[in-house]
Amino acid sequence: MTDGYQPMRRASAVRGHAITFSDDPFVSDGALTDISDALIVSEDGIITAFGPYADTLAAVPDGVEVTRYEGALICPGFVDTHVHYVQTPIVGAFGDELLDWLKNYAYPEEERCGDRAHADSVVATYFDQLLSNGTTTALTFCATFAESVEAFFVEATRRGMRMIGGKVLMDRNAPERLRDTAETGYEDSKRLIDRWHGRGRTLYAITPRFAPTSTPEQLELAGALWSDSPGTFVHTHISESVAEIEWVRELFPERAGYLDVYDHYGLLGRRSVLAHGVHLTDFERARVRETGTALAHCPTSNLFLGSGLFDMRAAKKRGADLHVGLGTDIGAGTTFSLLATMGEAYKVGELGAFAMSAQKLFYLATLGGARALDLEALIGSIAVGKEADFIVLDPNATPLLAYRSAAVESTEELMFLLVAIGDDRAVAASYVGGELAYDRGGAGAL
């Protein structure tokens, strides 16, 4: 600028006990960074300084006040790698088994999202829930209607969040009002990609619901669209329930198995995220790994619908890393809280004699999720150059947490306690792009 005028940069500085990961604790020791008195400085949405308070104080721009959280634990914003915003209104509806639940609860509710006013109201609640639970990025199913996707991206943009979403592709085996065709599904998705992918912080996911609700023509066009649309995602479901797998076998007898359906249509690879994967075979898991495809482990949903127990041991074999994130899978999942989801992932691991440490669980919900989404360069950890999405956890949020946290002797113990008995009550604040986006406030305010 010729007159020397410098526009004001949006800056913030947050001080407190902070944790973050630089690597995957499933495969490497020393992945956790733990700074008991840290400072995070952000400018224009990006972290410009992070380190021990005393060493970092000089990086605070003139005039910026330091916000201090005492007795708290600051960590990267949580990443939800599989969730349906349009199912927010049916969380906790009676479950039964997947295919009946879809017919009786999910589809009737999704039909209502053809009405833009309804979609707008659901999406507002959805984003409020994400932020009050400490989730700053979510890979999100919308409904079949393009309008439901518009509602999602408009709200994501308004909140300045790093969000990924897409229109459901579904051209068979679903109620008529929810069905598109191979061609209209392709055209609508393409239009939405042109409009929203890479605009601000929003990204697009090509979203065939699951193999049974798409014809081979639709899957083929989805694969073609993905290969023509650099940087977009594929988001679908796989091998969640036994009945679903049997159905896929009947519908695609020419394919070697469920994963092979997606493989055949070019839907596997980096930035392809498959939800559930409870009943994958060893052979399929090897193919998932080889292609760089990610799995979203959704423990509360798998338990709620009685789908089965995800095999984390097989997925995270040492030295043979497979990308796994955690998904709440609202509305078959029963909580928006990634803390509670980590707790359920822990229990499911226990049932397979695979005890996961607090470090591993926090990793799955932060950097692991970002890696699963191939967004590690942007989000998932507190580090200079990354987007400034982080949250403040309160170990004294409930009387029981306060009672127990008074007795913990290490950061790791504190992290585990938050996982085991914490939920949205333990989220004191969420920062998006360095700005306070949610503040619990109230009597127990930090």
Q: Where are the beta strands (DSSP E) in 97-218?
A: 135-141, 163-166, 168-169, 202-208
What is the β-pairing status of strands 135-141 and 163-166? parallel
Measured between alpha carbons, how far is 440 from 446 in angstroms, rounded to an integer? Answer: 9
Count of chain residues binding ligand GUN (CB under 6 A) = 11
Measured between alpha carbons, how far is 277 from 296 in angstroms, rounded to an integer? Answer: 8
Interface with ligand GUN (CB under 6 A), residue from 24, 147, 180, 240: 240
**What minimum distance in Å lies between the beta carbon of 360 and Zn ion?**
23
Q: Which of residues 180-219 bind ligand GUN (CB under 6 A)?
A: 209-210
Q: Is 392 helix (H, G, I), strand (E, B) or coil?
A: strand
**What minimum distance in Å lies between the beta carbon of 302 and ligand GUN?**
8
Interface with ligand GUN (CB under 6 A), residue from 39, 47, 288, 332: 332
Interface with ligand GUN (CB under 6 A), residue from 147, 155, 263, 329: 329
**What minimum distance in Å lies between the beta carbon of 362 and ligand GUN?**
24
Which H or E run includes 428?
strand 427-432
Decide if residue 285 touches ligand GUN (CB under 6 A).
Answer: no
- Go through 180-206 and write b for each residue having 16 or more CB atoms within 10 A of its CB, e for each that does not: bebeebbebbbebbeebbeeebbbbbb
**What minimum distance in Å lies between the beta carbon of 360 and ligand GUN?**
24
Write phi, then psi, for 279 (nearest 5 degrees): -110, 25
Report the residue number, 25 or 331, with the smaller CB distance to ligand GUN: 331
- Alpha helices for 270-422 (secondary structure H): 282-291, 299-304, 312-315, 338-351, 358-365, 367-372, 399-405, 411-421
In the shown chain, the binding pattern of residues 102 to 131 toward ligand GUN, with x for contact by CB under 6 A and - for none, equals x---x-------------------------
What is the β-pairing status of strands 272-276 and 294-297? parallel
Measured between alpha carbons, how far is 13 from 434 in angstroms, rounded to an integer? Answer: 8
Q: Would you state the structure tokens that stand for residue 3, as one six-digit string? A: 């007159």
**What minimum distance in Å lies between the beta carbon of 26 and ligand GUN?**
25
Measured between alpha carbons, how far is 104 from 195 in angstroms, rounded to an integer? Answer: 33
**What minimum distance in Å lies between the beta carbon of 168 and ligand GUN?**
8
Which one of ligand GUN, Zn ion, none interacts with residue 418, CB within 5 to 8 A by kind? none
Report the residue number, 275 or 324, with the smaller CB distance to Zn ion: 275
> Which of these segments, 6-14, 98-106, 179-187, 199-207, binds ligand GUN (CB under 6 A)?
98-106
Interface with ligand GUN (CB under 6 A), residue from 189, 293, 301, 366: 301
**What minimum distance in Å lies between the beta carbon of 290 and ligand GUN?**
24
Which one of Zn ion, ligand GUN, none interacts with residue 17, CB within 5 to 8 A by kind? none
Decide if residue 237 touches ligand GUN (CB under 6 A).
Answer: yes
Decide if residue 110 touches Zn ion (CB under 5 A).
Answer: no
Count of chain residues binding Zn ion (CB under 5 A) = 2
Report the residue number, 268 or 330, with the smaller CB distance to ligand GUN: 330
Q: Is 138 helix (H, G, I), strand (E, B) or coil?
A: strand
Report the residue number, 311 or 329, with the smaller CB distance to Zn ion: 329
In the shown chain, the binding pattern of residues 243 to 282 toward ligand GUN, with x for contact by CB under 6 A and - for none, equals ----------------------------------------
How far from the centroid of its chain's Cα atoms is residue 119's Cα? Answer: 20
Measured between alpha carbons, how far is 116 from 322 in angstroms, rounded to an integer? Answer: 39
> Which of these segments, 4-12, 120-128, 200-208, 267-275, binds Zn ion (CB under 5 A)?
267-275
R_g (Cα) of the chain, nearest Å: 21
Report the residue number, 327 or 434, with the smaller CB distance to Zn ion: 327
Interface with Zn ion (CB under 5 A), residue from 150, 263, 329, 344: 329
Interface with ligand GUN (CB under 6 A), residue from 45, 50, 76, 84: 84
**What minimum distance in Å lies between the beta carbon of 337 and ligand GUN?**
17
What is the β-pairing status of strands 46-52 and 32-43? antiparallel
> Which of these segments, 45-53, 119-127, 312-320, 325-333, binds Zn ion (CB under 5 A)?
325-333
Could you tell me which residues come within 8 angstroms of residue 82 by beta carbon, excluding any fewer than 6 positions away? 139, 141, 235, 273, 275, 296, 298, 325, 327, 328, 329
Look up residue 438 and give its DSSP letter: E
Closest residue by Cα to residue 241 from 89, 81, 102, 342: 102
**What minimum distance in Å lies between the beta carbon of 212 and ligand GUN?**
8
State the residues that interact with ligand GUN by CB under 6 A. 84, 98, 102, 106, 209-210, 237, 240, 301, 329, 332
State the residues that interact with Zn ion by CB under 5 A. 275, 329
